[in-house]
Amino acid sequence: MSDLENFTPQLTADGSFTFVSQEFGESFHSHSGAKQESFFKFVEPTQLATAAQKPVLRLLDVCYGLGYNTAAALQTIWAVNPSCCVEVIGLELNPSVPQAAIAHHLFDNWNCNYIEILKQLAFEHQVQTPCLKAKLLIGDARTTITLVHQSGFWADAIFLDPFSPPQCPQLWTVEFIKQLSLCLHPDGLLATYSCSPAVRTALLSAGLIIGSTPPVGRRSPGTVAAHSPSAELKNYSALPPISQAEKEHLLTRAAIPYRDPQLNDPTEIILMRRQQEQQTSWLESTSGWRKRWLLGTQGRDFIDQNSGVRSQNSE
Q: Is the pLDDT of residue 216 over 70?
A: yes
The per-residue pLDDT for 237 is 46
Residue 5 confidence class, pLDDT cut points 50, 70, 90: low
Domain span at residue 9 reads 3-307
Distances from the Cα of 154 to the Cα of 37, 57, 76, 184, 193, angstroms: 24, 10, 20, 5, 21
Q: List the Cα angle 44/24/285 in 5-degree steps.
A: 75
Whether 312 is in a domain gets the answer no
Whether 314 is in a domain gets the answer no
Whether 313 is in a domain gets the answer no
Residue 308 confidence class, pLDDT cut points 50, 70, 90: very low
Residue 298 confidence class, pLDDT cut points 50, 70, 90: very low
For 136, phi then psi, to 5°, come to -115, 120
Q: Is the pLDDT of residue 1 over 50?
A: no
Whether 259 is in a domain gets the answer yes
Q: Are 11 and 106 in contact (CB under 8 A)?
A: no
Tens digits of per-residue pLDDT, 38-80? 999 999 999 999 999 999 999 999 999 999 999 999 999 999 9
Torsion of CA 64, 38, 233, 81, to 10 degrees: 100
Whether 73 is in a domain gets the answer yes
Whether 210 is in a domain gets the answer yes
Q: Alpha-carbon distance 142 to 203, whole Å?
A: 16
Q: How many domains does the chain have?
A: 1
Q: Is the pLDDT of residue 303 over 60?
A: no
Q: Are 176 and 260 in contact (CB under 8 A)?
A: yes
The per-residue pLDDT for 4 is 62
Write the CATH number for 85: 3.40.50.150
Q: Is the pLDDT of residue 220 over 90?
A: no
Whether 78 is in a domain gets the answer yes
Residue 296 confidence class, pLDDT cut points 50, 70, 90: very low
Whether 279 is in a domain gets the answer yes
